[in-house]
Structure 1
Amino acid sequence: MPESIAPASSIDAATRMGPVRLLVEDLDTMLTYYRDVLALEPIREDGATHVLGRGGVETMSLTPSAGLPAFDRRGAGLFHTAVLFDSEPGLAAAVARVAQAAPRSYTGSADHLVSKAFYFDDPEGNGVELYWDRARTDWQRDAAGRPLMGTEYIDANGYLEQHLTEGEFSSPVARASVGHVHLQVGDIPTAKRFYVDVMGFDEIFDMGTALFVSAGGYHHHVGLNTWNSRGAGPRAASLGLGRMDLVLPTPDAVAALRSRLAFAGVAIEDDGREITFSDPWGTRIRARVEDAS
């Protein structure tokens, strides 16, 4: 990959994350988890793929892929999909439903200063973060204006006692969408060259073993770490992450990203409405316009 890229703007500030596609072994079990436990609503079916979300916003798609090997947790791929709730009662209800239906899937929680998060593994071992953001005006910032993140203790039971409501638990209405995706990669310098220098995300925090990047001043849209995967090469076909989506506001924003990728020599599939490409470890990324299906 070239060390320098064409002088162009960063990725559009209105870029957000779209749905994550998972390749799954047992579709029925995974549908039960995401539909019945996390209360994501069925939106549509594309052949065998089931697309789920909230309020018409696509969050997760599940594609049956029996016969693929399990994801190697030491390799490149998905660390977790982070589902962002627009209210604390909505987050508390989702956490309570998972705790009731699959208590052993809980792996931890943290107050990250910008957000409050709870972590789980789905039935096939894919990481899931459920979280809520504090208002941007309440974020602490460094001298450059970038949001500061940390890891502080959350009393999960106390959180539920404070925020859980019967109405949200039994009939969820809180909006939920993919807030960020956290990936396992082989090394951070290569990840930075691709996601910052080529794609145009802004670097928010580089802690050496993990990198957090975003568009438009968000705390992070993509996290990248080597905690389990240091030295990993391109990933082989496996269950787990099939693709992550970026949703951009205009065709011009997609075209600008296409130009950056092409200048860097990244292979691109382009059907005129969306582009699909891979990061250095073979993770598939689709970029499309907001209203493209």
Structure 2
Amino acid sequence: MTTEKKPIDPGTRIGHVHLKVADLERALGFYRDVLGFELTQRYGSQAAFVSAGGYHHHIGLNTWESRGGSPPPRGTTGLYHVAILYPTRAALADALRRVVAAGIEIEGASDHGVSEAIYLRDPDGNGIELYRDRPEAEWPRQPDGSLDMTTGRLDLGELISA
């Protein structure tokens, strides 16, 4: 008997991510105070949940297994980055201004054709991608209709003045 493999339901979304952090206050200083997420709940000094727009939480920050810990060394498995999707180019530009004002190092910035992305690290060394998607009608495509994503230079000076 052959089992037909069905694709995942197109309405499926990733709802939230939990990050192990070494210092909860330091992590809140980044996610709440720099990026602007709202604190929705806190479990003392062990965990906090932040969101955008009143959702119960987009990001969970916890010290349950990591209080005082250090980031995993490069070359090991684990989370590569968390991607935070901004609804507009103006919102992404605002995020960039916040990051620059906080003195946070930007590791990279790319125009992928379908999106514009800024790459950095949180205080615990977790990779963070701040991005916005272009409207789907503008996505570059191959003649067969498949996506033709690229990695080009994103002009941060032009973006920050947007």
Cα distance in 2, alignment partners of residues 30 and 140 from structure 1: 37
Say if 2:136 is the partner of 1:136: yes
CA distance in 2, matches of 1:134, 1:60: 24
1:28 and 2:29 are equivalent in the alignment: no
Is the CA contact 2:22–2:70 (under 8 Å) kept in the aligned structure 1? no
- CA-based RMSD of the aligned residues comes to 1.7
Structure 1 residue 46 displacement after superposition: 4.9
- What displacement does 1:72 show? 2.4
CA shift, 1:45, in A, is 2.8
Alignment map for 1:198-277 (pairs within 5 Å): none
Give, in whole Å, the separation in 2 of the partners of 1:9 and 1:111: 32
TM-score (norm 1): 0.51
The higher relative CO (CA closer than 8 Å, separation ≥ 6) is in: 1
Q: CA deviation at 1:59?
A: 2.1
Letter in 2 for 1:49: A
Q: Is there any run of 5+ residues in structure 1 with no aligned partner, and where?
A: 164-293
What is the DSSP-based 3-state SS (H/G/I as helix, E as strand, rest coil) of the residue aligned with 2:108?
strand
Distance 1:144 1:46, change over 3 A: farther
Aligned residue for 1:150? 150
Residue 74 of structure 2 is aligned to residue 73 of structure 1: yes
In structure 1, the partner of 2:107 is 107
Instruction: State the Cα distance separating 1:18 from its structure 2 match.
Output: 1.7
Match of 2:86 in 1: 85
Pair 1:50 & 2:48 matched = yes
One-letter identity of the residue aligned with 1:53: S
| Partner Cα separation in structure 2 for residue 94 and residue 19 of structure 1 | 19
Unmatched 5+ residue regions in structure 2?
none
TM-score normalised to structure 2 length? 0.89
Which amino acid in structure 2 is aligned with residue 119 of structure 1?
Y
Q: Distance in 2 between matches of 1:67 and 1:159?
A: 36
CA apart distance, 1:26 = 1.0
- The offset of 1:68, in angstroms, is 4.5
Q: How much has 1:144 moved relative to structure 2? A: 4.0
CA distance in 2, matches of 1:43, 1:146: 40
Give the distance between the partners of 2:158 and 2:132, measured in 1 at CA: 16
Structure 1 pair 156–69 and aligned structure 2 pair: CA distance change class (3 A):
closer
Higher strand share: 1
Aligned to 2:10: 13
DSSP-derived class of the 2:74 partner: coil
Deviations 1:210-246 (A, max 9, x none): xxxxxxxxxxxxxxxxxxxxxxxxxxxxxxxxxxxxx
Structure-2 separation of matches of 1:8 and 1:124: 39
Shift of 1:120: 0.8
1:97 match:
98
* Superposed displacement of residue 78, structure 1: 1.1
Change (3 A) 1:118 1:69: closer
Q: Matched residues in 2 for 1:86 and 1:34: separation?
A: 17
Seq. identity, %: 37
Count of aligned residue pairs for this structure pair: 157
